[in-house]
C-alpha cells in the first residue's frame, strides 16, 4: 500500500506491507521508500508508534541534507492489532518542532510487497 509525507522542499514516499514476523505471533510491518529533498537545508523522516493507547516517543529514521535522496527502510518486528503508527517529515535533524502532516502507517489494508522484494 503506498504512503507519502511531505514538508517544505522534501517528500518521502514508498510502500508498506506486513510479512511474517521474526519470532512473534504478530506480523512485521515493513515500510520502504525514499526521502527526496530538492532544496537547501536538512529534512528528516520521523516515526512514532502508539502501543495499547500509550504513545511512544517520535524517533528520527533518516535525514537528507541538501538536494538528493536517502532510503527509507523501516521494519517494526511485531505489529499487533492495538499498535498504531505514523510517519512524518520535519525540517532539520534535531527535533520535531517544524513538521508536515502525519501519514498513518497502520491504516488498513496494508498490501503485499512489490514483486521481487520478498
The string of pLDDT tens digits covering residues 55-67 is 999 999 999 999 9
All 3 cell numbers of residue 48?
A: 512514532
Please give the model's pTM, rounded to 2 decimal places.
0.87
Burial of 78 (0-12, 13-18, 19+ CB in 10 A): middle
The string of pLDDT tens digits covering residues 10-53 is 999 999 999 987 767 889 999 999 999 999 999 999 999 998 88
Amino acid at each position: 500500500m503506498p504512503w507519502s509525507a511531505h514538508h517544505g522542499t522534501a517528500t518521502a514516499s514508498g510502500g508498506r506491507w506486513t510479512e511474517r514476523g521474526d519470532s512473534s505471533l504478530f506480523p512485521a510491518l515493513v515500510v520502504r521508500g525514499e526521502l527526496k529533498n530538492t532544496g537547501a537545508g536538512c529534512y528528516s523522516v520521523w516515526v512514532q508508534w502508539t502501543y495499547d493507547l500509550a504513545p511512544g516517543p517520535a524517533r528520527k529514521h533518516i535525514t537528507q541534507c541538501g538536494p538528493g535522496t536517502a532510503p527509507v527502510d523501516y521494519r517494526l518486528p511485531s505489529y499487533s492489532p492495538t499498535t498504531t503508527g505514523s510517519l512524518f517529515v520535519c525540517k532539520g535533524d534535531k527535533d520535531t518542532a517544524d513538521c508536515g502532516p502525519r501519514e498513518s502507517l497502520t491504516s488498513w489494508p496494508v498490501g503485499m510487497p512489490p514483486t521481487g522484494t520478498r
